[in-house]
């Protein structure tokens, strides 16, 4: 049994693929099927260590971006995409997998086209409320389509689309409760607010936070993933703003949180402030209410739609970038954390939003398709 995973470029594409790979390996082991061989086709391995731990082999495939704006790069990327399709054709033919599971994004596109040409069944997954260009095109070639948001199903053919939710690796979906206080040198009796702007950080969120740091550290501890590009400037500015504040030690900036630290934060965070990407499902899995600050200009305005679909469930609140002033941010934080009824309702809604089981459902469908082909 051979399965190819395609996607990459961001953690939002990469880690759900690993979640499905993890579930698929468990299914094969539990049901005593023949050994499964897993491959990852993308422009780069993203995190080679994680691939190696799951026994997933990386295969490099060139890809050009599918831009929606005028750029000279569009001309050259047409040729890159064409070369990537030829590469993927050759590499897929060499192993001829039973199924290709693709997560979207430009890095998955050459492999999807090559699989379609070779008549290999394709399953795609869409994490956002509005699909990206790659998945819109891929949906015409896909055998099955899975979506994280119910609202996304309207963009795809009804007969082959299912709402599964977001695949999340078990270690991320299961935070380590309590141990994070010691691990991150935090006070066990002071509430923790976690700030995430994605792996690259979010300048607008960072700036709004800095403006209220002196007020926040009086009551809360702040774990702040600034993004690697912003770490030095945010850290220096925070030190200036906090000055000789006796509670300055409650502010903990990090350029990026490694998986173990991320799990630790999941087990101690009282509130999360975040963008509105697929990580919303991870915070919901933790049972932690969130304030979402969607990117103003995202493809198909998907971040705003993600944020409002999330907020409608009661699991979180939305603050638009244009409204993200220090005063509004601190008022929303206080409203959530100082009202037990509001907080508990948001916690309960988070569990309902996450749902769980997406990786298992997709893995079961991959296995079902594989077995149906073997019987023919």
161-217, pLDDT tens digit by residue? 999 999 999 989 999 998 999 999 999 999 999 999 755 557 888 888 998 999 999
- pTM summary value: 0.90
Residues 330 and 210 in one domain: yes
118-139, pLDDT tens digit by residue? 999 999 999 999 998 889 999 9
CATH at 225: 3.40.50.2000
Output the CA–CA distances (angstroms, integers) from residue 236 to 40, 155, 231, 240, 291, in the order listed: 40, 45, 9, 6, 25
Residues 181 and 224 in one domain: yes
Residues 215 and 237 in one domain: yes
Q: Give me the mean pLDDT over the 60-81 stretch.
A: 72
Q: Which residues contact 53 (CB under 8 A, 6 or more apart)?
A: none
What's the gap between Cα 90 and its chain centre? 30
Q: What are the structure tokens assigned to 164, written together?
A: 């599964």
Residues 371 and 331 in one domain: no
State the total domains in the chain: 2
Residues 218 and 347 in one domain: yes
- At residue 242, the pLDDT reads 96
Phi, psi of 273, deg, nearest 5: -115, 125
Rounded Cα distance, 365 and 20, in Å:
11
- At residue 351, the pLDDT reads 85
Residues 139 and 103 in one domain: yes
What range does the domain containing 336 cover? 172-354
Residues 137 and 203 in one domain: no
Q: Give me the mean pLDDT over the 230-238 stretch.
A: 92
Residues 43 and 135 in one domain: yes
Q: Tell me the chain's radius of gyration from C-alpha atoms.
A: 21
Residues 53 and 139 in one domain: yes
Residues 311 and 241 in one domain: yes
Residues 95 and 215 in one domain: no
Rounded Cα distance, 240 and 210, in Å:
10
Name the nearest CA neighbour of 224 among 248, 259, 194, 261. 194
Rounded Cα distance, 366 and 65, in Å:
27
User: Which of 43-47, 119-123, 297-301 is least confident?
Assistant: 297-301
- At residue 70, the pLDDT reads 59
**Would the pLDDT of 72 be above 70?**
no
Q: Give me the mean pLDDT over the 29-50 stretch.
A: 88
Residues 187 and 266 in one domain: yes
4-37, pLDDT tens digit by residue? 999 977 788 899 999 999 999 999 888 767 778 9
Phi, psi of 98, deg, nearest 5: -75, -35
């Amino acid at each position: 049994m051979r399965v190819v995973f395609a996607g990459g470029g961001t953690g939002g594409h990469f880690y759900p693929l690993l979640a499905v790979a993890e579930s698929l390996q468990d299914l094969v082991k539990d049901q005593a099927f023949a050994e499964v061989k897993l491959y990852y086709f993308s422009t780069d391995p993203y995190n080679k260590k994680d691939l190696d731990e799951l026994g997933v082999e990386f295969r490099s495939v060139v890809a050009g971006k599918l831009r929606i704006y005028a750029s000279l790069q569009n001309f050259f990327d047409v040729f890159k995409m064409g070369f990537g399709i030829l590469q993927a054709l050759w590499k897929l033919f060499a192993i001829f997998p039973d199924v290709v599971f693709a997560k979207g994004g430009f890095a998955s596109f050459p492999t999807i086209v090559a699989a379609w040409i070779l008549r290999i069944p394709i399953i795609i997954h869409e994490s956002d409320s509005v699909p990206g260009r790659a998945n819109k095109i891929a949906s015409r070639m896909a055998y099955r389509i899975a979506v994280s948001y119910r609202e996304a199903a309207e963009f795809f053919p009804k007969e082959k689309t299912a709402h599964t939710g977001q695949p999340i690796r078990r270690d991320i979906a299961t935070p380590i409760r309590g141990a994070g206080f010691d691990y991150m040198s935090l006070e066990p009796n002071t509430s923790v607010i976690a700030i995430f702007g994605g792996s690259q950080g979010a300048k607008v969120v960072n700036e709004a936070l800095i403006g209220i740091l002196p007020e926040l550290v009086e009551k809360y501890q702040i774990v702040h993933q600034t993004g690697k590009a912003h770490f030095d400037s945010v850290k220096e500015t925070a030190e200036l703003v906090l000055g000789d504040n006796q509670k300055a030690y409650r502010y903990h900036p990090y350029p990026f949180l490694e998986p173990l630290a991320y799990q630790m934060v999941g087990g101690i965070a009282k509130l999360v402030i975040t963008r509105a990407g697929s990580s919303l499902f991870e915070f919901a899995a933790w049972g932690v209410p969130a304030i979402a600050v969607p990117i103003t200009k995202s493809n198909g305005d998907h971040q705003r739609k993600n944020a409002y679909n999330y907020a409608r469930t009661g699991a979180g609140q939305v603050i638009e970038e244009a409204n993200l002033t220090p005063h509004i941010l601190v008022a929303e934080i206080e409203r959530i954390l100082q009202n037990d009824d509001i907080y508990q309702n948001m916690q309960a809604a988070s569990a309902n939003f996450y749902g769980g089981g997406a990786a298992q459902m997709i893995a079961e469908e991959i296995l079902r398709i594989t077995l149906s082909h073997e019987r023919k």
